[in-house]
Structure 1
Amino acid sequence: IKELEDIECFHGNILEDEIKSLLPRNGDFILRKIEGKGGGKEILVTVKWNEDILDLKLRAKKTLKGGVLYTLDGRQKHTSIKDLIKKHQISGGNVEYKGASAMLLNPIAKQAWELRPDQVHSGKMKMRMGRSMNVAVKVIKKCVANEKATTELQKEGTLMRKFNHPNVVRTFGMVIERDTIMVVMELISGGSLQSYVKKQKNVSMEEKGSYAYDIANGLAYIHSLNCIHRDIACRNCLIDVVKKQAKLSDFGLTRETPVHKILPSEKIPIRWIAPEVLKTFEYRNSADIYAFGILVWEIFSNGSTPFDTLTNAQIKEGIQLETFRPKFPDGTPQDVVDTINKCWQGDPNGRIPLSDV
C-alpha cells in the first residue's frame, strides 16, 4: 500500500525485538507490516496500553463502487489509512479488536536509521541538501521462503548500528519499509583484507603489522560492547587503501552476549575455530582471540588458507594439541610470532588480552 510509506509512524518490517524500546509510554503506537498466514501481508497498529504491547489488525473492505474502506474496530472507517488513524486519535476513545482495547495517543515517528526506499539507489545514498554518497548495500528479498535469512540480516544490521569505531565498518541505516530489506554501510575502497595481501606482493612487514593492530582494536571495541564476533578471518575484514586502514566487517554470526551456545550440528569455520568450542559448543571472547591469531597468520602468509593441506577431520583432532598451530613464514617479526602464540594457548583463560596485542 503506497500510502503507508508517507505515514511517518509506519516502520515497515521492524523486528519484534525493537518494538518495546520504541513504545515506552501508554498510548505510544506505530504501524508495521508482518507476514500473514498463507504468505500475505498484514498491517498492524502496535500500541502500548496498560503496560502491554497490543497488535490491532488493519482491515480493508471493498465498497460497492470499487473503492476500499479501512478499519481497525469495524466502527470507524475511512478511505485513507492516515485519516483513519487521525480519527482515532482525535476521538480519544478506545480501539477494540478481538478482546484488545487501547487508545492511540502518540504516533512514534521513523527513527534516524530508518532510511526511505527512495534514499538508496544504485549504490548511492541521498543525503541532506541534495548531496549523495557511494555506499555498500546488503540486500535480501523478504518472503516466506527466506524468512530466517531476512531476519538474520535485519538482526545483523540492528547490531551494527550500535558500532562506532574507526576499525569497524560503519552502518548508516536500513531500509525496512518494502519487501526488499537493505543494510546500508560505508563503502570501503580496497575490498577484503585477504584479497589485498594476496594480490599485493610488496606489502611491508610494518604495513601488515599495522593491519593486524587495526583489527585487534576493532575486535577489542566490539568485545567492550559485550559482543562475540564468531567469524574472525581475513575474508571478513576490509581494507581502506587510501587511509591504509583495516576494518572489521561481516557480523552475520555476531552475538550480543558473554557466552553463546551452539548446536553440535551447527556449521562452524573449522580452520579458525578455538579448540574449546569443539568440546563445550560454547563461544566466548577468548574464542575470537584465538581466531584473531589465525587472522594475523593469514596476513603475514599473504592471504594463504590455514591448514590448507588438511581435512576438517584432521584439523578437529589436531587443534587440541598446542603444538598444532600454523607456522609463520620466515621473516615474520619474532615479536609478532610470540604475541600470536599467546593468542593460541589451549587454555582460553591463558590467552593474551587484546589490549596487550
Structure 2
Amino acid sequence: MKKKGFAVAILLVFLLAAAGFVGAKSLYETKPVPKGERHSISEIIPAKAKWEKVVKGDGGFMEGINFDRKGDIWMVSPMSGELLKVKGNKVEQVRKYPGPVGAKFHKDGRLFITDITGVIHAYDPKTGKSETVVSTYKGEPLNGLNDLVFDKDGGLYFTEPMGSSATNPVGRVFYLPANSKEPVLFADKIAYPNGVAISADGSRVYISEFGKNRVLAAPAKNAPPSPETPFVFGQYEGGIGPDGLAVDKAGNLYVAHFQAGEVVVQDKDGFKYGTIRLPEGTGTFTTNLAFHEGYLYVTESSKNEVWRIKVNKEGLVPYGLQ
C-alpha cells in the first residue's frame, strides 16, 4: 500500500508539473525574432509632431493630471496642498488638502485623491463635499500615499512609498476592492513605489519602483490563474526614477521619467520604442501622464507646466470615463 501511495503521489506531482508546463508554454509562447529593429518611436508619434504648451501654473508642484467627462483638466499639488482645475488658460485652486499627490476619477464622478498624510480623499465636484475613503490598514495608520488607479471592476490600487528608498525597500502597494473600506496588501518590499497602472488586458499591474529606476509588473488581483510571477518590466538609465504611468489600447506603456525630462515608451513585452524628450528649455520633472483626444499630456512640475504631443495610439479609457 505504501508503494502504491508513493506511486500515486509521484504521478500527481508529474501531472501538476505537466499542467504547469503547458500553462507556461501558452503564456511564454516563443515568437519569431525580428529581422531588423523591433521598434521606432515614429510608431508612437507622427514625424512632424511637436510639443505644445497647454498651460502654466503660478506655483506649487503640479501633477496628478486627469480629464473629466467635459474634457476639463484636473491636477493636484502636494507642495501647496491644492486641488487644481484648468479654466481657460489659467490654473485655479478648487480646494485645499494637506498634501494631495495623485488623483483618479471614479465612474460616479467623484475624484479620488491620495495624500502624503496616508489618506485617500473622495471629492465630489457637484457638491464640493469631500470624505475620507481609506486611512488605515489592519487598524494601523497608512504612511504617505502617492498614486492610484481603478481597475475595470472599480477596485483601486494605490501606492504607499513614504519612508522607503533604494536602501530601505519597505514601500507597499494596496488593493481596495469595490465598495469596501478595508484595503488588502498587494505587494511589499518595494523601493519607493510611485506610479501605478493596469495593462490593456487587465492581467498585469505596473508599478514604478522609483528608488531603483525601474518598473515592475505583477499579476493583477483579479486576473485569471497564470504561471506568471512579478518581474522587472523595464529598467531605465539616467534621471532618478519612473513616476506616473499610462497605457494605450495596444498595450504600450508610457513612463514619465522623473529628472530625465522624457517619456519612455515600451511595448506590452517590455521592448522600448524609444523616448519622447520634452522640448529644449523645459524642466526635467516629468511627473504624470494622461491621454486625451489624440494627444499625450505631460505634467512638468519644476516649472509647473502642462505639455502635450500628438500620438498615433489611442489611450485606454480610464475607469472614470467609461
TM-score scaled by length of structure 2: 0.23
Q: Which structure has the higher relative contact order (CA within 8 Å, separation 6+)? A: 2
Could you say which structure has the larger radius of gyration? 1
Q: Which has the higher strand share?
A: 2
